[in-house]
Structures are given as C-alpha cells and as structure tokens.
Structure 1
Amino acid sequence: MKHVKIAGGLGFIGFHLAQKLLDEGWLVTAVDSLENRSELKLALEMELGRNAHFTFLQTKIEQVDFGDADVVVYAADNENRAALEAVLRKCQPDCLFVFLSTTDVYEYSGEWRVQPVTEYGKAMLAQEENIRVTCAETGGAAVIIRLPTVYGLHQPYHLKLGRQFVSYEDETGKTESMHDLLYIDDVTSALAAAMAIDSGQHTIHLGSGTSNPFERTGKSNGLDYQKAHELLGFFPRTSLAEGIKKYQLAHEEWQRQKKLAAMYDETKSMAAKHPNTNQ
C-alpha cells in the first residue's frame, strides 16, 4: 500500500485529494499546523479520520519527516520558500514531489505565454524554479501542476456563479488565477494521475479548453489541456452548469450533516444534565 503525505492536507484541495486517495486505497497522512484552528478544519479532520488508513499530524510542515512517503503533495502555503525548501530536502530520491502552482504564471495577449503579471504569479514562478534546481541536485522526481481557480465544497473564497460567467465577490487578498475555472473533482483526478509518474521533472497546467468564464468580452479562451491529457489522461468532465449543481447539492448535504451533528450533541448534553435515575 503506497503512502502519501499531503502538506496542507486539511485545506480545500488537500482535503478533497486526501478523500479521493483514501477511497483508492492509499495510506494518507495529512499535515496541517491548524494555526487558523477553524471549526471547518476540525470537522474535515473528523471526516477523514473515519478511515483507518488516515493519519493527521498537527505540526508545522518544516518539522515533519517526509522520508517515509512514496509521494509528497505540497498543498500548503506555496509562497513560503523556507518551508518548501525544508520539505524538498527531506524527501528521499525515490519519492515523487507534487507541487500545486498557479496559472497566474501566464499572460494572455492573443496567446498564452509564461509572463506573470501578478506578484503571486511571479512568486510561484520563482518557487517552481527552486523545485527544479533542488530536485536536480537530489535526483528526485517532481510534478508541478499549474492550477486555475478551483471550485467546489469548502472552497475558501466566495464566487458569484452564473450559467456562463463567474466573478469574485471580493478580490481583496485573492491569490487564485482568473484564467480559467475547474471543478474540484476534475482537479483531484488529475493530481491522482500525476502521482503515478515516477521519474523526471514535469510542469503541467490544467484548463477547461473552453471560453474563460471570468472573461465576458469573449476575447480570451480558457487554457488548453493537451499536455495534461497526454501525460495524465486528463479531461475536464464537469461543465460549469454541472459543477454548480454538484457544488450546491454537496453544500446542502454538508449543512444537513452539521445540523444533525449539532442536534446529537445537544441531546447528549441534555442527557448528561438530566440522567435517567429510574432503574
């Protein structure tokens, strides 16, 4: 049974990937410092913890031993260069390192080219180069996956979702790329496929292959996925309309489960306060 360690395993993408890999029979260790000890992250830990093959490490990722993992997925704060370097150095030469980057490294001027126009894109391009240099020194394999905006249950940002177009409700502090949009299930399928790569260094972007839903002028298409299809068998199966419906249904079910859990806790509390003394 293969073992994956996910740095940032209780984040949006990290959680969904962990869930998928557990379903596929992996041993999964999620690493998260829980510095922002949110109610959601605690609930996600409990959700994953129902599987006997799941382990959670509450600590800073720099302090974790990654030497026993077959695959390390870096889904944590990807702008932290020191943390990234520490994790890379702890991976064994036969360990695959998967890094989640951004399509903000691209600029669209009639065609897509690597020319970041945002500070986040520039930072990610520098991180990508750091990975290439370090893995060339250690002999480790690496896959860099450049992601557009990913949406689905537990997404950490608020999107206005329409039938054909989307937009951010608040762009303050936004780091997600606005070049394209993909549903979380399509992304985790691609990441799981990338984990089968066992040698070399690869940089792949994911895209919808359709018009950019953030762009209302029609002048910009979303990103193609030819290389991702060739290397990973990737194909975006979820249309925007389907994704919105799946997201809404999943959100409703999550809220229902939360209410049931709250009712159960309240019942237990009442029973503890008023125990039945009739024997």
Structure 2
Amino acid sequence: MKEQTSGPERRVLVTGAAGFIGSHVAHRLLDMGADVLGLDSLNNYYDLQLKQDRLARLTAREGFRFAHLDLADREGMARLFKAEPFDEVVHLAAQAGVRYSVDHPMAYVDSNMAGMMTLLEGCRHQGVKHLVYASSSSVYGASNTMPLSEDKVTDRPVSLYAASKKANELMVHSYSHLFGIPSSGLRLFTVYGPWGRPDMAIFKFVRAILAGESIQVYNHGQMRRDFTYVDDVVDAVVRVLSRPPVASGKEPAHRVLNVGNSSPVMLMRFVECIEAALGTEAIKEMLPMQQGDVPETWADVTALKALIGDVPGTPIEEGVKRFVEWYRTYYPRTGSPGE
C-alpha cells in the first residue's frame, strides 16, 4: 500500500537528514512531492564522509534544501522556525548508540534532551500539524515479557540512551497536552539496511569478515533482535505522518507506536545470513553481555497495523543481502569505512 502523492505545498522538516534513517525518509518524502528541509549538525560521531555522501544524494534532488544546524542551538532553531512555515516535522536527529552513552553521557543530554526541547518550542510557536519523532525499543529495558507492547512499563531504562528516549516521550506528551501539538513517537526496533551507521552490528560484522578479522559476538550469541529493514521503517514513518492523532477527552493528541519486523532473530542466525551473503565464514570471538545491552527485543505491532494497515516485513535474508550489496558498492577499494 502506497501513500497518496502529496502536493508541492506540503512542507516538511526532517531532522537528522544526513543520518541513516533521516536520509531515507527525506528521499521518500521527495518522491511523494513534498518540499523537504533537511537539518543536520554533521557531527563526527562516525565517518563524516558517509554523512556527506548521503547528503549529496539529497541536495541533487529538486525540492530539497539543507540547514547545517545543531538542534541544541536555541537561537538558531528559533530563527529557523520563524523563517520556515513547516506543516509537519519528522524528528530523527539524535545521539545514537546504547554503548556510546556509557562513556559519553553529556552528548545525549545536549542532542537528545536539549535538542528535543528546542524542536518542541518551534512546533509550539508555529502550530505544526503533526510531529513524528523517533523513540526506541531501548525504553523497554531488560523486560523478559515478550512481545513488547506499548502498554508495558518503561520506567526502568538500563542505559542513558534509553533514558533520554523515554524522557523525549514524556516531554512530547506534556507539550501535546499543554499546546495541542499532534505527535507520534515511534519506538524503532534495530533498524538496518543500506547507508547504515558504522557503529551498528551488521556494519561491524561485514567490515571485519571482509578484512579477515574476528567478529565480537556478545552474550555468547544468546541474544535475539527484532531486526527491521530500513525501507519498512520509512513506510511506517510516512504513513503515520499522514495520520495525526486527535485529542480525546483528557488524553492529548499524542501516541507511541512500536515499529518492528515482529519476527525476532537469534544473533547467530543473523551472523549466518551475513556469512551467506558474503560467501565467507566469520571468525567468532564469543564475549559476555555488554553493559547497557539487553538480551532480547520483539515488537508487538498490533497498534501500528490498526493505524496504517499491513506492515511490510522484509525477511532478514533479503535485508542482509541488500546491505551487503550496498556495502560492496560503496567501499569497492578499501572494503571498510574511513576513520
């Protein structure tokens, strides 16, 4: 099911437009005829060249404009919202990474907390019709009751990254209640695919295997993840964006929805898919669980399906194959990302 093509009058702000999911969403919105302003700070959390190459593909397209701006820049964000009459906002910019948050906590305070605050203030004063923002499956913590549904308790995060994402949900809920901002938070489950981030497992595994190095398999492989292909996430984002929530009684126009494949895969099966796509067996280094990680994720997508209909579910074998094809094309010489 495809969304109806929007008219050129539809103006959308996409934060994190040079990022993994943000760049894919921006392309889809441009395909739908929207006018897209992409915002990104272009920080050096990972290979900047990858971000610049994603951005170059967008800037070559009609209907796309770029703002090089840090979300935590209060004055800059205020000026942006004053100058640009956005109809909708897709907020995907964030300091990502569960493990990175253990040693770099302030990055999450600045980007995920202060950044969300400036964005909410902009939406408040401009009267944005719908804010769709990325939350994370990490908010569920180490829950052992599967599948994970939106009504589960989410006040026991096991990483600062997860805590920042839960805080974002609370911040948006309060602004929706106070100022009537229609808002949808999407709890994303282990998104992967072409143009992904180098800190993600599939990126690290492919790079290491091609280099003849060992891969680090945490919790001795006893982990399950609800791996979700990026195109499926983009489908969910744009379809939810076209369906803003409505306040009901004392409940504000705010909702949270799981976005996942709803088909968890054992980590070792994931590795097998990568090995098959590469035609090479991995050298495996079995390690204990890392601090801040969780053993299992599994999305209950009942609420998402009720809202947008059938949810695409790209099989892990196909998704991994597409990633490997992209990786080999993007890194034809060195086989690995730049440092």
TM-score (norm 1): 0.78
1:116-195 correspondence to structure 2 within 5 Å:
116-119=156-159, 120-156=161-197, 157-160=199-202, 179-195=225-241
Inter-CA distance 220–51: structure 2 relative to 1 (3 Å threshold): closer
Inter-CA distance 257–24: structure 2 relative to 1 (3 Å threshold): farther
Inter-CA distance 83–225: structure 2 relative to 1 (3 Å threshold): same
The root-mean-square deviation of aligned C-alpha atoms, in Å, is: 3.0
Q: State the percentage of identical aligned residues.
A: 26
**Equivalent position of 1:109 in the other structure:** 144
Distance 2:60 2:238 in 1: 21
Distance 1:52 1:70 in 2: 19
Inter-CA distance 140–240: structure 2 relative to 1 (3 Å threshold): same
- Check whether the contact 2:192–2:202 (CA below 8 A) recurs between aligned residues: no
Q: What's the CA shift for 1:130?
A: 0.8
Match of 1:93 among 127, 143, 164: 127
Match of 1:26 among 34, 46, 55: 34
1:28-43 correspondence to structure 2 within 5 Å:
28-36=36-44, 38-43=48-53
Range with bigger deviation, 229-238 or 21-30: 229-238
**Whose relative contact order is higher, 1 or 2, with alpha carbons under 8 Å and at least 6 apart?**
2
Unaligned runs of 5+ in 2: 1-7, 96-107, 206-214, 246-252, 270-294, 335-339
Q: What's the CA shift for 1:123?
A: 2.4
Q: What's the CA shift for 1:257?
A: 11
Unaligned runs of 5+ in 1: 163-168, 259-279
Range with bigger deviation, 127-136 or 177-186: 177-186
1:4-83 correspondence to structure 2 within 5 Å:
4-36=12-44, 38-61=48-71, 62=73, 63-64=76-77, 65-66=80-81, 68-77=85-94, 79=108, 80-83=112-115
Q: What's the CA shift for 1:236?
A: 3.1
Inter-CA distance 214–29: structure 2 relative to 1 (3 Å threshold): same
Inter-CA distance 221–89: structure 2 relative to 1 (3 Å threshold): closer
- Check whether the contact 1:102–1:145 (CA below 8 A) recurs between aligned residues: yes
- Check whether the contact 2:224–2:297 (CA below 8 A) recurs between aligned residues: no
Q: What's the CA shift for 1:179?
A: 4.5
- Check whether the contact 1:27–1:54 (CA below 8 A) recurs between aligned residues: yes
**Equivalent position of 1:270 in the other structure:** none
Inter-CA distance 257–237: structure 2 relative to 1 (3 Å threshold): farther
Range with bigger deviation, 85-94 or 45-54: 85-94
Match of 2:261 among 208, 233, 249: 208
- Check whether the contact 1:4–1:70 (CA below 8 A) recurs between aligned residues: yes
TM-score (norm 2): 0.65
Task: Find the residue that maps to 2:266 and give its secondary structure.
Answer: coil
Distance 1:221 1:211 in 2: 7
**Equivalent position of 1:275 in the other structure:** none
Distance 2:316 2:60 in 1: 31
Q: How many aligned positions are there?
A: 247
Max radius of gyration: which structure?
A: 1
Q: What's the CA shift for 1:207?
A: 2.1
- Check whether the contact 2:127–2:181 (CA below 8 A) recurs between aligned residues: yes
- Check whether the contact 1:88–1:131 (CA below 8 A) recurs between aligned residues: yes
Task: Find the residue that maps to 1:108 and give its secondary structure.
Answer: coil
Inter-CA distance 14–220: structure 2 relative to 1 (3 Å threshold): closer
Q: Which amino acid aligns with 1:7?
A: T
